[in-house]
Amino acid sequence: MLAKSSIDTIDPQVAAKLVVAMAIALQPQSGIEGDAEMIDLWLQSRKSKQTRKEYRRDADYFLAWFGGELRSVTLKDMVQYQQACIDKGWRPATVRRKVNAVRSLFRFAVKTGYLHAVPGEGLDLPPDTEAAAVKVLSEVQVIRLVTLTQGRDRVIIRLMYASGGRCSEIGGLKWKHCKPNPDGTAVVTLFGKGAKTRAVVISAETWAELAALRGDGSDESPVFPSRSGQGHLSRVQLWRVVSAAAAAAGIPGKVSPHWFRHSHATHRSIAGCRCLWCRLLWVMHRSPRLSATFTRTLRIPVAYTWRSSPGKFLALDNDRSSCANSVI
């Protein structure tokens, strides 16, 4: 007859103590009380106000869909959540963003000790088939948009393209962020996502039109004030400006302010500005690969430069110091 194992012969009181000790060891030691506090801390760790707003919306949507605590989420739940997003008819890019937002929350929870593992870490996201068809305007379309638009709206579109700025960066400009140079050009300081700051040079023509909007505005006044005059032009209003201009110019598709950012990066790449320097000096993407997504749409040798294009562009050479802004 086989002898009993040590498990069979262990003292019941010792076994009970072992169970309690294992439970304590597995209990997260973050000091965070509940999912609400966890999510608040996660959002506070994001530097961008817009990112915090979007992450809050994504987290609330996930919790409403799941209906339970974060600690009870499994990989199976994440797979079902992703499929639920797909079933909504959302684009692959939207599905990826929503799932990645939730995974970011779980990663932060693991980092703080609130959770032990990320349940969706091994989840395969739907391929982003739209990445190869990034929304980029041609040079002719950009010129047409600027030519057919008047007043403030013309300056907005011109500055969006010339600076490669995000919608929030352009909308949040104050006059103190715009400094003229002796040669007639100007330096515009943009405050981007993640508290990143960069200074871009705009042409004398663009600065002349921009400065004409100032009037008696102080350094603290918005460059593009709202209709009430009490604050900055909102993202929604900037979208309306661009949409109306695109419709008037006969450009198909839902043209958004971000198209000018994509176009800026792509046109610079075509002109010979290396992707890395385009990223570091101008568009400030988080990674070179993201910038490459926008600049690979038209594959033209890096050595190619243009010296003129309907009188609207300056030459762009390959030397990193000459990645200057276009005249438009």
Q: What is the pLDDT of residues 252-273, one digit of tens each?
A: 888 999 889 888 878 877 766 5
Determine which of 102-106, 152-156, 280-284 has the lowest per-residue pLDDT on average: 280-284
Count how many Cα atoms sit within 13 Å of the Cα of residue 288 in the half-sphere of its side chain. 5
Residue 196 backbone phi and psi in degrees, to 5: -85, 140
Tokens, residue 265: 């990066």
Average confidence score pLDDT of the chain:
78
Question: Whole-angstrom Cα distance, residue 158 to residue 313?
Answer: 13
Tokens, residue 236: 């929604």
Most confident region among 8-17, 174-183, 227-236 by mean pLDDT: 174-183
Identify the H or E element spanning 19.
Answer: helix 12-26
Tokens, residue 247: 């419709």
The most distant pair of C-alpha atoms in the chain lies apart, rounded to whole Å, by: 101
- 235: which residues sit within 8 A by CB, 6+ positions away? 167, 168, 171, 257
- Is 0.85 topped by the overall pTM? no
Give the model's pLDDT for residue 47: 77
Tokens, residue 253: 């598709």
Most confident region among 15-29, 268-282, 290-304, 311-325 by mean pLDDT: 15-29
Q: What is the mean pLDDT of residues 92-102?
A: 92
* Domains within the chain, CATH numbers bracketed: 34-125 (1.10.150.130), 139-322 (1.10.443.10)
Residue from 114, 44, 123, 17 nearest 76 by CA: 123
Indicate the pLDDT class of residue 198, thresholds 50, 70 and 90: confident
Per-residue pLDDT for 195 more than 70?
no
Length of the chain: 328
Determine which of 135-139, 146-150, 169-173 has the lowest per-residue pLDDT on average: 135-139
SS3 letters for 90-114? CCHHHHHHHHHHHHHHHHHHHHCCC
Tokens, residue 65: 């869909």
Q: What is the pLDDT of residues 54-79, one digit of tens each?
A: 999 999 999 999 999 999 999 999 99
Residue found under tokens 């996930």: 62
Give the model's pLDDT for residue 325: 39
Per-residue pLDDT for 315 more than 50?
no
Question: Whole-angstrom Cα distance, residue 275 to residue 254?
Answer: 26
Helix spans in 164-221 (H) = 167-171, 204-211
Give the model's pLDDT for residue 314: 31
Residue from 46, 90, 41, 42 nearest 286 by CA: 46
